[in-house]
């Protein structure tokens, strides 16, 4: 079992990792390498970079700093986080990791599918959380919208409630690992590649109409686009959120035991310096949880 899982390898997650790893906590940073910071060509007003810096430059510097103290970067896609005994299990598309505490630093993400009026049915058959709402669709026909590993994992989880499941890629290229594709085939979960046009139903979902005009009869539509983002994981763990952002207190605490969040996923100002500070705050307070007292930099004392 590792000590800390940090989900997200941007400024907030890497700053948190520097503190947890330096405090001799085995730290895993889950980062598939597709964070939004990497897409930024240039940023000004970044502490320590008077001439400005690119997103990739900042990420590389943060990785070097965190791994210097022993943090490990796990280049795997997180698809689920759940409670496991007194800790948590982080499930990726290829493995599972048991940890004692979690820091969510995924950045802001909440993506609706390109299906007409889909958000109007949220709460009436459209859900963004299998863990939360699958219970209401026992033995009912359901669909999962998505084309990646996250969608495949969500579809597999639905088998605990119903065996009438299909995945709707909505015309997107399938990006599901071969092992998961085999599992889907074995369970009889169909992958529908045709684009969807709209949700069918008066007040609640009754089906999904495809571009061809054909209607797939379903009672529930679960959205699982891309990888599991911060809001998805928050729903899995029962973390309160305000729309697309997680509710945290001044200590970056989510209200769930030993789970903290930092950076853009918590809302506020989307600035690198702010994210670094929040990641640091989250790490220090998680360390205090572990030790049952105030954080102390033991390496500094030993020096």
Q: Give 62-79 pLDDT, tens digit per residue.
A: 999 999 999 999 999 898
What number of CA atoms fall less than 13 Å from residue 75's CA on the CB side? 3
Mean pLDDT of the chain: 88
What number of CA atoms fall less than 13 Å from residue 165's CA on the CB side? 28
Burial 258-278 (b: 16+ CB within 10 A, else e): bbbbbbbbbbeeeebebbbbb
Tell me what pLDDT residue 38 has. 59
pTM for the whole structure? 0.68
In the predicted structure, residue 48 carries a pLDDT above the cut 50: yes
Distance CA 219, CA 234 (A): 24
C-alpha radius of gyration, the chain, whole number: 20
Task: Grade residue 301 by pLDDT with cuts at 50, 70 and 90.
Answer: very low
Report residue 245 CA to chain centroid gap: 12
In the predicted structure, residue 153 carries a pLDDT above the cut 90: no
Distance CA 40, CA 58 (A): 10
Distance CA 88, CA 258 (A): 9
In the predicted structure, residue 203 carries a pLDDT above the cut 90: no
Higher pLDDT, 262 or 93: 262
Q: Which domains are assigned to the chain?
A: 2-110+228-302 (3.50.50.60), 118-223 (3.50.50.60)
- Listing DSSP states for 259-295 in one string gives EEE-GGGG-S---HHHHHHHHHHHHHHHHHHHHTS--
Tell me what pLDDT residue 35 has. 61
Q: Which of 220, 168, 169, 164 has its CA nearest to residue 188?
A: 164
In the predicted structure, residue 295 carries a pLDDT above the cut 90: no
Tell me what pLDDT residue 30 has. 95
Q: Give 175-184 pLDDT, tens digit per residue.
A: 898 989 999 9
Q: What is the mean pLDDT of residues 197-219?
A: 94
Q: Give 256-294 pLDDT, tens digit per residue.
A: 999 999 998 887 666 788 899 999 999 999 999 998 866
Q: What is the mean pLDDT of residues 127-132?
A: 77
């Amino acid at each position: 079992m590792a000590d800390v899982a940090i989900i997200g390898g941007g400024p907030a997650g890497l700053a948190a990792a520097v503190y947890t790893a330096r405090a001799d906590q085995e730290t895993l940073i889950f980062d598939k390498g597709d964070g939004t910071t990497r897409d930024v060509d240039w940023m000004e007003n970044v502490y320590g970079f008077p001439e400005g810096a690119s997103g990739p430059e900042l990420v590389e510097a943060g990785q070097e700093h965190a791994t210097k103290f022993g943090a490990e970067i796990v280049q795997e896609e997180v698809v689920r986080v759940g409670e496991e005994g007194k800790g948590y299990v982080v499930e990726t598309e290829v493995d599972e990791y048991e940890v004692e505490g979690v820091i969510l630093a995924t950045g802001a993400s909440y993506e609706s599918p390109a299906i007409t009026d889909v958000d109007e049915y949220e709460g009436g058959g459209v859900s963004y959380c299998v863990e939360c709402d699958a219970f209401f669709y026992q033995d009912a026909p359901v669909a999962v919208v998505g084309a990646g590993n996250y969608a495949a994992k969500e579809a597999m989880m639905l088998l605990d409630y119903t065996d009438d499941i299909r995945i709707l890629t909505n015309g997107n290229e399938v990006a599901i690992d071969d092992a998961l594709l085999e599992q889907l085939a074995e369970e009889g979960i169909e992958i529908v590649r045709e684009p969807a046009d709209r949700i069918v139903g008066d007040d609640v979902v009754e089906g999904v109409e495809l571009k061809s005009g054909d209607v797939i009869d379903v009672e529930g539509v679960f959205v699982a686009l891309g990888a599991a983002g911060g809001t998805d994981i928050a729903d899995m763990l029962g973390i309160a959120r305000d729309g697309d952002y997680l509710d945290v207190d001044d200590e970056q605490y989510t209200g769930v035991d030993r789970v903290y969040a930092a950076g853009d996923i918590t809302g506020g100002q989307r600035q690198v310096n702010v994210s670094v500070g929040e990641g640091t705050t989250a790490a220090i307070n998680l360390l205090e949880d572990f030790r049952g007292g105030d954080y102390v930099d033991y390496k500094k004392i030993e020096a």
